[in-house]
Amino acid sequence: MLCAVIIGPDIFSQVAQAQRADLFEFRFDLIGTVNLEFLRSLPKEKLLFAQPPPLPELFALEPAYCDIGENSHLAKLCHPATKVITSSHFKTPIPLTAKTDKLATTAFSSLDALKMLEHIEKSRQIGVCMGEDGLLSRVLGPAYGSPWTYAAIAQGLESAPGQPTIDQLLDVYRFKSLSKQTKILGLIGTSVSQSPGMLFHNQQFAVKEIDAVYLPLRLDEGDLAGFFTTIKRFPFGGLSVTMPFKRKVIPYLKDLSPYALACGAVNTIDRNFVGYNTDGPGGLDAIERYRLVRGKRVVVLGAGGVGLALAHEAKLRGAKVTHLNRTPDPASEVLGLEHLPSHYDVLIQATCVTDQLLIPQEAIDPQAVILEVMLKETLFAKVTQEKGCRVVSGKEMWLAQAYLQQRIWFPTC
């Protein structure tokens, strides 16, 4: 079930906005004044009172549920028809041993949320992980045995950190259709919340009627081993990989595609834990909408996972590639920035630098096609556009590679 959290002060409009929810949780510690007449007008089976004041007339309304927290003395005030819920809240990922009906912990990474999902499946508690990293537990909790999950009426009306809205759960993540058979996919990295992947991939799953959900999965580097061990216990569907894990995930994979092996970086993992790379083809596809690269001079700035993939793909397409980085690596044919050629046809900015130019402004060729791989606005994109260059945005590249990821995950759809 989906439980909408009513926090006030305007409980009338909030209930009106929450009609798609199965339950209304009234947080009396946040609402303040108790409006008995309004509460009496609502269906009893949709009422959940949380942290209620000890008013006999309030309990006499016979709500379906009453969350008394750890205040056991309130249980005697509850109507016999009301199910009493005890709850525990922790500012840490543990303990997962609390015996209360509801358990709320704080996720420090998405691995904590994945472990909560395992716990819910065994305990059947109302289980959630608070914080932005806890989203997985909130979206999939009921599919694994939690009686319900909590949702905010709208952004800005959250009662706990990381709480999604009703619209996000129902319209983006298709909450009502999720089950233990639903394939779990997502984006792993150290910064994932701003990716367009959640909207794009989940929309694609809906259109193609694929039973899958795509989630932001923020991890720290120390979480990788535990994550890849734990995710195998679930119906794993695949992953996107972003910085800084495009090379660091390789030891946890069963195999690499020849292409990923050649460029030394992975941005896509299939359900069999085979690594692929769609950054190179996606980026060059986006560039070649404006200029074919065969026989042209292509300069790549940056030697991380994206830079390696783009340089490899440009070579495959017949370009003359100059690969530059702030830290040269002659063994990999990566030169220092001072080796920027006087003429080039395509210039690719493949670093994570957003607020400075890595090359002199006067060295920017107005006739060049530019690819800026970052999704956010950067100084490089701004300056090159002002110089008159054709600038291919990171969004164009991202979209091209995302379609390729869909084909890897679900080749028959």
Query: Known catalytic residues?
Result: 246
Residue closest to 138 by CA, chosen among 111, 109, 169: 169
DSSP codes of every residue in 345-378 = SEEEE-SS--SS-SS-GGG--TTSEEEE--SS--
Cβ–Cβ contacts within 10 Å for residue 159, how many? 17
How is residue 265 annotated by DSSP? -
| Distance of alpha carbon 18 from alpha carbon 282, whole angstroms | 40
Q: Coil, helix or strand for 200?
A: helix
- Residue labelled with tokens 């679900």: 410
H-helix or E-strand spanning residue 136: helix 135-140
Residue type, 242: T
Identify whether the C-beta of residue 242 lies closer than 8 Å to the C-beta of residue 188. yes
Query: Letter for the amino acid at 249?
Result: V
274-276 vs 268-270, strand pairing mode: antiparallel
What's phi and psi for 48, nearest 5 deg? -130, 115
| List of residues 6+ apart from 331 with CB closer than 8 A | none
229-239 CB burial, b ≥16 within 10 A, e <16: eebeebebbbb
CA distance 334 to 103: 52
Please give the Cα distance from 310 to 374 (Å, whole number). 14
